[in-house]
A and B are shown apart, each in its own frame.
Chain A
Amino acid sequence: MTEIILELKKLRKNFGGVVAVDHMDLTVESGSITSMIGPNGAGKTTIFNLITGFLKPSAGNILYRNTDISGMKPHVIARKAIARTFQNVQVFPQMTVLENVMVGRHIRSKSGFIISVLVPPFCRREDKKNRTDAEKWLDYVGLGHESDKTAGSLSLGNQRKLEIARALAMEPKIILLDEPASGLNARETVVMGRLIEKIRKMDITVVLVEHDMELVMDISDQIGVINFGRCIATGNPAEIQSNPEVIAAYLGE
């Protein structure tokens, strides 16, 4: 638990005059669950978008296993085994649940355009393996029985699980979960918490943005508190709960 997998150094992002993230420092230890909390609009999703390449930082660096990945394209970052989910669930609604997860196998398979056009599906060994792998991940998150439905027809809770299954199918080293429990009821939230802990046990580092404090305090090893684009405090759950600055930010002094 000492190796550092992800490090944000003096990260900054501004949209014109609006500063969304400023002077952001954060280190994530390999195999940990790190949570980012903070009020709405504090810049948490922006940080995720910076790490996964959807936005380019205005200044600062993002180090992943000691290499700078800032400014790389999303698909390049994905190939480095960094997976993510989205705050507003992004499944592929027209595709079946199984096919959704098979998209997650994209970086673990190779066949390109020419082979895809010329070789019929029943002759592809790679595809069969992708299918069985995808089925495995669906079972893992508990959606095995839904595999032939279209993803758009699932409930929100199941869509969130599907997104996680798709991310896990990438066999990531680190997974970024953007509010996985939002919109879920109390029971579903508990299930989600167990799922996240199960993911950590596979030695996958988890970075979590979440508003459900109970869930965050329950499972996190480290918590970073973000306010106005800055990290105002880091520490374990107990430290955060007793930090006066955090209490001030949350109670709105």
Chain B
Amino acid sequence: MESGGFTDFLQFIFMGLQRGCIYALVAMGFNIIYSATGVINFAQGEFVVLGGLMMVTLTTGFGLSIVFAFLISTLFVTIIGILMERCTINPVKKPTVLRLIIITIAVSILLKGVAMIIWGKGSHYMRHFSGSDPFVIAGATILPQTLWIIGILGVIVVAFVVFFNLTMTGKSMRACAINRDAACLAGINDRNMVMLSFALSAGIGAVAGIIVTPIIQMDYARGALLGLKGFGVAVVGGLGNSLGAVIAGILVGVLEALSGGYISSHYMDAIALLILLLVLFVRPSGLFGSSEASRLKEF
């Protein structure tokens, strides 16, 4: 097949879309916990890894169907998220930012260690959801799995909008995020909202891990970089802004794929991180947030 300039370009765009959707999901995970607690969960990347590895075990190890394994893996990581909140965040009486950062870092090392002992150091292969024969569009190929990723991101975004705008629980969570004291006075149990935010965030992380594993082959050590990029995307989109995260995720994913294709694949990750750092330095409020508002937040 002849690989013209446009075909290459389109190929990179597809690759970027696929990465971007994953970053967007990780970033949304960061956003949920941040909105509810003001905490950045450094173990977010580990949720992704655990979701992916669990999926591998259930499908290739136990031979479960994709749908069933998907649900169990998500549930499994969600429970880990709840445990994390109950055992490590909830008991802290006098939380300082530094202490909370170190606690979530500790949890991330712990989860990483556990993952390494259970799943070993190798990377794990998993079959694609619906075959790995690519579709060809204008000479460029796109995997069915990529379509799955885009579709699932879409479903989750819609579910989010519905949950936070139309359900009572979702509205309560938003109320807590805006003003916790007022929400408590209105009879909302803020502690439960924090737990719920960890559960949701872990669940979303797991989904990201599950859908990406067939493409990247998950191993125990991937959490750090995924988490770092996901956080960067969350910042670019404006911390707490989930729609911003989706746009920023796709933007960063595409930029990364393009720089990998046209500049150097060795430095692809470094370039992506550099872009994210630059945004962090120049506009810590994100591309879509107002700078004045974020400066007023307690950071």
Among all A-B residue pairs, the 5 with the closest Cβ atoms: A16-B292, A15-B292, A15-B296, A16-B293, A16-B290
> When each residue 282-299 of chain B gets 1 if its CB lies under 8 Å from chain A and 0 otherwise, what string results?
000000001011001000
Q: Contact residues of B with A, CB < 8 Å?
A: 290, 292-293, 296
Smallest distance from the beta carbon of B296 to chain A beta carbons, Å? 7
How near does chain B come to A240, taking the closest CB pair, in angstroms? 33
> What chain A residues lie within 8 Å of B293 (beta carbons)?
16
Chain A positions within 8 Å of B290 at CB level: 16
Residues of chain A within 8 A (CB-CB) of B296 are 15
Q: Bound complex: CA of A16 vs CA of B292, how far in Å?
A: 7
Q: Which of A12-69 contact B (CB under 8 A)?
A: 15-16
Closest CB-CB distance, B85 to chain A, in whole Å? 28
In the assembled complex, the Cα of A132 lies from the Cα of B293 at a distance in Å of: 45
CA distance A62 to B290 in the complex (A): 27
Taking CB atoms, residues of chain B closer than 8 Å to A16 are: 290, 292-293
A contact residues around B292 at 8 Å (CB): 15-16
Closest-by-CB residue of B relative to A14 is B292
A15 to B297, CA, bound (A): 13
In the docked arrangement, what's the CA distance between A16 and B296, Å? 11
Q: How far is the CA of A114 from the CA of B296 in the complex (A)?
A: 35
Report B291 CB to chain A, min CB distance, Å. 11
Question: What is the minimal beta-carbon distance from B26 to any residue of chain A, in angstroms?
Answer: 31
* 5 CB < 8 A contacts A-B: A15-B292, A15-B296, A16-B290, A16-B292, A16-B293
Q: Which residues of B contact A15 (CB under 8 A)?
A: 292, 296
Tell me the bound Cα distance from A201 to B290 in angstroms: 47
State how many angstroms separate the Cβ of B4 from the closest Cβ of chain A. Answer: 50
> What's the nearest-Cβ distance from chain A to residue B284, in Å?
17
Give the Cβ gap from B202 to chain A, nearest Cβ, in Å: 35
Tell me the smallest distance from the CB of B265 to a CB of chain A, in Å: 43
Cα separation A26 to B292 with both chains bound (whole Å): 27
- A199 and B296 CA atoms in complex are apart in Å by 34
Nearest CB of chain B from residue A50's CB, rounded to whole Å: 15
Residue of A nearest to B295 (CB): A15
Complex CA–CA separation, A197 to B293 (angstroms) = 40
Minimum Cβ distance to chain B for residue A19 (Å): 14
Question: In the complex the two chains form, what is the Cα distance from A123 to B293 in whole Å?
Answer: 48
A16 to B295 CA separation, bound complex (whole angstroms)? 12
How many angstroms from the CA of A42 to the CA of B293 in the assembled complex?
A: 20
Smallest beta-carbon distance B285→chain A, Å:
13
